[in-house]
Structure 1
């Protein structure tokens, strides 16, 4: 039982005539100062029913509540403040963490239910840029968090490998491309062609029309169009897989938009059979006025399909294939209207399982406040950024610990981890400005800071002459800084659940920073290895801290080196 449940149950025993257990739980707060207790219940909600001032209600509740499990329960103004029994709590928490190890915080909430997660999805024939980082690492973290809670995440890389842009790229290749030049440096050369042709298409409608015609040939199965497109795809995947290797991220399926090209007719026919398709200026649409949305354009006047046509086929395929309990799309916030239309069309077609689809949106990564744009050639390649981060980590390790045995491996873990952690500590709906200096710093709220706290604990444990013992905690239970760590460790299972419910890895990243800070504060004033009666209890405290720090980092896809 967690501390919030303990308090809620104690309150419910005397408030069952006025509030439900769920209502009580939702009202419980954490006081701003630990001097006011560990948890608090505000009595304002009861004033009208009980016809008493909140201060009087709080005072009465403090008298009536069973104090078992609490050091004390007291009223302060309109609040009932609960002080947990520190010794009992510390023993329970540390024993549980040490016994469970990395499984601490795991729970079978999902009962093995399938959760396809659409993530990463870079466009073939374009650089894997910093702009693709967010979908990749947020989706991977959400998968790990759901797996810890008993779901079966299915990571799908829905590659951007279909659409008019490939018709334009074929146009550029036919006009200016050279096979040998492209083979020598595929992505850079294809990017040059893409930027050039987009600039031309903007000025010359004939060029734009030529690109449209090449894409139409792709859709109609033209041999030459598909051969060139397949070549673009193959050379791109070689590049992408190298970057995924550096990130330490794997996928269950690489099924891009093209995978659904032969599955679109069925969904279009289905919409037509249900009387949902209407002609508008030669195109086919689904009217979504009742949802306060613009019409969904299903087919253009020339019969070409759009993103939404392919995404409708994708959604139906995933439901049939995986019978998902929920289906997640980790895609930028600028696509929110698209996903609202997608769900609305499915709903209109009678697919009520569309309620189980969630667009996990996120804000943009910028540089110098400016948006990245492949069309305009303004990109920062992710691989270059990762390599630079590793180089900077190597420099810091050379300064701080030049004799480190496995410095190259650690530098990779720190550098790549820094980039991933910086992204994930940002609330996903917010964006951030890309800054390597800030990312790779060992100071401040960064990945290396958390990793260093874990490595420092491992160093202490290697030097210890005793073994951790969670039964000897008299010193730990009375230390204010140790108590802050205990409370944080106790909260970890709730943190994992909250991160899953909100699809928000930043909840775990911020927790890891807070726990590392709590450890460093404790370490600054306590001689952990001092040979006295409290040694084994202190070792239990820091060992449990290391276990949870490592697991929090793992859920974010970040390694926790034992030495740094």
Structure 2
């Protein structure tokens, strides 16, 4: 239990003595503030909210409350106007926080909230036979980080790559391949070659509209299970997935399932049948819909007038399949903000079908990746390919290493970790709903709020441990006064906050809280490094300060891991 939780418990208990039993420990915890000036205390509790219940002025309540609060981990409690200001016993807190971090290691901040229950997470989901652009980066890294955070909370994430692998475009691609395709070229550069065939199809179709009919015919053959159509489609899919896996491997992202749109083809008739049985289907202009007037939403289209099923049908089939397969605690969809209405409709249709578990389904929207302030577009040639960005980032980091540390032992591995990490962190440090402007300069600098800055701080701390010959097994009680500085206390305070940050990041599906946290921890550690002689002459003082450094490396490494970044020990 963090010290903030312990303080909340003491205040809640003191309030009962004063006759207020309506505030739970959680209510009190959420009311706690951090004073703007450390001289005013470590934690402050405002008493304004209690004035009505106790029929007293807030300063009087603060004075009475102060009398009721004492004991570890507090050193002093003061009433300052309408606030109760609480000062922690810094030496005791530092000892407990550091020993907890060092004894628990990467498990620091773990919880059993999820009790091992499944959470399918729909993430990444690129379209096969098309390039993996920077636009797909967001769903991939946000979803992967959410999966890591939920795993830390005791859930069992099931990472699902719901590939875009069905639709009329595959009929067009089959026609293009049969007319102009070259097997060897597709094998050599699958995505590039398939995309050029797809583009050529549209160019030729402007002069020869019959190509569009041929495309529809071949997709119909594919739907009907034609052997040649199915063989080509499977080949396109497999080759695309191999290319995507190169990028996923580079980013250290893996999946438990790559069941895409095509997987649900034989599961949609059941959805239509269930909707019919429940009397939910209505005809509208020849199409079959589920009306959602009571929720002020447009109807959800289930079947077009020509009998073709739609995205909604497919996603209803996927939801049923995932619930039956995983019996999930939550189901998470990391999909762009523009799909918000679609998911709202999906959950309401499931609710109308009588499935209470629909309440545990969450759409996690995110903003766009912009270039020069504008949306990236494949058709207008404004797309930025993720593979090229990662390769360029790695090459740029290699140049920096050659200039600054050419004798580094594992240069290639570190270049990959820092280059890829820079791209991932550039996304995740931002709140997911914000649009992000793609910027090389901002992404790759070793200063400021970047991945390389946090990774470099971790490497610097590891270097200190090596220089000081730190031995993890020789952990002892902290020497009196060793961490008696505002710089050391700032580090201890942040280390203590890590479990709460993980909890909030999980509850809000918000990896940026971890991103901001590791930046803050790196910054306060660098102040400590700049102002305090860590490798002091006195052996006990040095050993104590190195224990704090070791705790920082543990938490920085774990924070970076949750975001999907490696933490090199040398840079």
Is TM-score (shorter-chain normalized) higher than 0.5?
yes
Distance, in Å, in 1 between the alignment partners of 2:207 and 2:42 is 65
- Contact 2:3-2:73 at 8 Å conserved across structures: no
Distance, in Å, in 2 between the alignment partners of 1:39 and 1:360 is 33
Distance, in Å, in 2 between the alignment partners of 1:465 and 1:186 is 51
Residue 487 (1) aligns with residue 493 (2): yes
| Residues 56/370 of structure 1: CA separation in 2 closer, same or farther (3 Å cut) | same
Deviates more, 1:436-445 or 1:468-477: 468-477
Q: CA deviation at 1:56?
A: 2.3
**Structure 2 SS opposite 1:262:** helix
| Residue 549 (structure 2) aligns with | 542
Aligned partner of 1:512 among 489, 498, 518: 518
Deviates more, 1:162-171 or 1:270-279: 162-171
Distance, in Å, in 2 between the alignment partners of 1:204 and 1:484 is 70
Q: CA deviation at 1:359?
A: 0.7
Distance, in Å, in 2 between the alignment partners of 1:373 and 1:208 is 23
Residue 502 (1) aligns with residue 505 (2): no
Distance, in Å, in 1 between the alignment partners of 2:290 and 2:533 is 69
Q: CA deviation at 1:34?
A: 1.6
Deviates more, 1:365-374 or 1:36-45: 365-374
Residue 405 (1) aligns with residue 409 (2): yes
Q: CA deviation at 1:109?
A: 1.1
| Residue 7 (structure 1) aligns with | 7
Aligned partner of 2:328 among 301, 317, 324: 324
Q: CA deviation at 1:206?
A: 6.5
CA deviation map 1:510-556 (0-9, x unaligned): 10010000100000011111111411110111110110001111111
Deviates more, 1:329-338 or 1:475-484: 475-484
- Contact 1:119-1:139 at 8 Å conserved across structures: yes
| Residues 299/210 of structure 1: CA separation in 2 closer, same or farther (3 Å cut) | farther
Distance, in Å, in 2 between the alignment partners of 1:166 and 1:476 is 67
| Residue 28 (structure 1) aligns with | 32
**Structure 2 SS opposite 1:236:** helix
Aligned partner of 1:279 among 259, 280, 283: 283
Q: CA deviation at 1:186?
A: 2.1
| Residue 461 (structure 1) aligns with | 465
| Residue 240 (structure 2) aligns with | 236
CA deviation map 1:359-387 (0-9, x unaligned): 11111111111212234443211111101
- Contact 1:195-1:377 at 8 Å conserved across structures: no
Residue 130 (1) aligns with residue 134 (2): yes
Q: CA deviation at 1:262?
A: 0.9
Aligned-pair Cα RMSD in Å: 2.0
The answer for unaligned runs of 5 or more in structure 2 is none
Q: CA deviation at 1:213?
A: 4.5
- Contact 1:39-1:82 at 8 Å conserved across structures: yes
Residues paired across the two proteins, number: 564
Aligned partner of 1:524 among 526, 530, 546: 530
| Residue 475 (structure 1) aligns with | 481
Q: CA deviation at 1:26?
A: 1.9
| Residue 336 (structure 1) aligns with | 340
| Residues 37/216 of structure 1: CA separation in 2 closer, same or farther (3 Å cut) | farther
Deviates more, 1:477-486 or 1:227-236: 227-236
| Residues 162/24 of structure 1: CA separation in 2 closer, same or farther (3 Å cut) | same
Compute the TM-score of the two structures, normalised by the length of structure 2: 0.94
Distance, in Å, in 2 between the alignment partners of 1:274 and 1:367 is 47
| Residues 370/59 of structure 1: CA separation in 2 closer, same or farther (3 Å cut) | same
**Structure 1 SS opposite 2:266:** coil
**Structure 2 SS opposite 1:478:** coil
- Contact 2:172-2:218 at 8 Å conserved across structures: yes
| Residues 46/220 of structure 1: CA separation in 2 closer, same or farther (3 Å cut) | same
**Structure 2 SS opposite 1:82:** strand
Write out aligned runs for 1:213-228 (5 A).
Answer: 213-228=217-232
